[in-house]
Amino acid sequence: MGCRHARNLHEMVSGSHVVAVADADKGRASAVAAECGGAGVFTDAESLARDDSVEAVVIASPDHTHASLALECVRLGKPVLCEKPLAVSSGEALEVVRAEAALGRKLVRVGFMRRDDPRHARVKRIVDSEEIGRPLLVKGVHRNAAPGPGTTTASVVRNSAVHDFDSARWMMGEEIEAVHALGAATDPASGILDLQTFHLALSGGALAAIEVFVAADYGYEVSAEVVGERGTVRTAPHDSPVVRHRGSISQATDADWLVRFEEAYVMELRRWVGDLRTGKEDGPDAWDGYVSLLAADACVRSLETREPERIEPVEKPSLYAKKGAREIETEKVGGRSL
């Protein structure tokens, strides 16, 4: 993912310049740096972030390093695009929210790239136009061909399904209030629930029904459909050629997210770099990263108990106030402050 972001910044995003690359594997960092016009090479991300030549940072390191690196960038006053998830728990993500609230300035953008996927953005525009009436239900399918190394039941939620929780909030313009998660295992002996379903109750009365399956085998697929009072709208179907041959009709699927979201990753960076220049702040922020992990933590509990779980975010800091039309309303819940 880091390689892809570096190459995209170097080749596809005007107004940006890759000045440094960090990787624990110096050989890999050197190879990517060479591809990016001879950028500097670091073997630890903190040194890269602190380097005076670096004005903004993209974090694409392992999930458990995200929050601490994002906090370091906030401490340095440097804008940062942090790959999802923002942290490995809502509590850890809340520390990033607190740091930004204390600074009084938003520096963190979270890599929920579906918001920049043209197919998802077209659905969102139709939902916001009210052409299908009030949105009542969003259905999501999120399938990976095979689980990554070290996959656990909880990592499926926090590393993969976290996309779907953000997508549901963004698409419907509502907050998640309660969840009910159930899972199944392709290999019961492993105990890993690699197929998970989520029913979400949203703050305006709408619903979300999501399937996340990280061992689908056939390929990578992400789609969404919104059901409204007067119609439905769903993401455009797969756009690879349809082949008719020897009695069969076939269409190739995507192999992984780098293929399916190739354009979204470019658009995400172009928006972020453009926003850094204009001062706009309407992309997915640390609050979005926090509430998506709040939902994830609740879903992990629900998978264990097989019972519904409620979501109770802390009071939303004014820093994360409305960002425009159909903004997500988050009332004070529990009266707890940051």
| Residues of this chain that bind ligand ISE (CB under 6 A) | 144, 148, 159-160, 163, 214, 257
CB of 284 to ligand ISE, least distance (A): 13
CB of 220 to ligand ISE, least distance (A): 7
Strands (E), the chain: 20-22, 40-42, 57-59, 80-82, 108-110, 135-143, 176-184, 195-202, 207-213, 221-228, 231-234, 242-245, 248-251, 309-310
Q: Which is nearer to ligand ISE, 126 or 141 (CB)?
A: 141
Q: Which is nearer to ligand ISE, 135 or 284 (CB)?
A: 284
Task: Decide if 302 contacts 154 (C-beta within 8 A).
Answer: no
DSSP string, 129-194: HTTT-SEEEEEEEEE-SSPPTT--HHHIIIIIIHHHHHHHHHHHT--EEEEEEEEE-SSGGG----
CB of 151 to ligand ISE, least distance (A): 8
Taking the C-alpha atoms of residue 187 and residue 143, their distance in angstroms, rounded to an integer, is 17
Q: Which is nearer to ligand ISE, 90 or 159 (CB)?
A: 159
Please state whether beta strands 176-184 and 195-202 pair in parallel, antiparallel, or not at all (unpaired): antiparallel
Taking the C-alpha atoms of residue 259 and residue 272, their distance in angstroms, rounded to an integer, is 21
Q: Which of 137, 154, 149, 142 is nearest to 112 (CA)?
A: 142
Q: Which is nearer to ligand ISE, 9 or 264 (CB)?
A: 264
CB of 145 to ligand ISE, least distance (A): 10
Taking the C-alpha atoms of residue 265 and residue 23, their distance in angstroms, rounded to an integer, is 20
Q: Which is nearer to ligand ISE, 170 or 257 (CB)?
A: 257
CB of 155 to ligand ISE, least distance (A): 8
Q: Which DSSP state fits 274?
A: H
Q: Which is nearer to ligand ISE, 163 or 169 (CB)?
A: 163
CB of 212 to ligand ISE, least distance (A): 8
Taking the C-alpha atoms of residue 70 and residue 239, their distance in angstroms, rounded to an integer, is 36
CB of 337 to ligand ISE, least distance (A): 32
Residue indicated by tokens 């004014």: 318
Q: State the burial class of residue 298 (Cβ atoms within 10 Å of its Cβ: 0-12, 13-18, 19+).
A: buried
- Point out the residue whose Cβ comes nearest to ligand ISE: 160
CB of 190 to ligand ISE, least distance (A): 17
Taking the C-alpha atoms of residue 256 and residue 241, their distance in angstroms, rounded to an integer, is 18
Q: Which is nearer to ligand ISE, 268 or 285 (CB)?
A: 268
Taking the C-alpha atoms of residue 30 and residue 33, their distance in angstroms, rounded to an integer, is 5
CB of 123 to ligand ISE, least distance (A): 17
Residues linked to residue 40 through DSSP beta bridges, in sequence order: 20
CA distances from 283 to 37, 105, 179, 189, 267 (A): 29, 14, 25, 41, 12
Q: Which is nearer to ligand ISE, 159 or 203 (CB)?
A: 159
Q: Which is nearer to ligand ISE, 89 or 160 (CB)?
A: 160
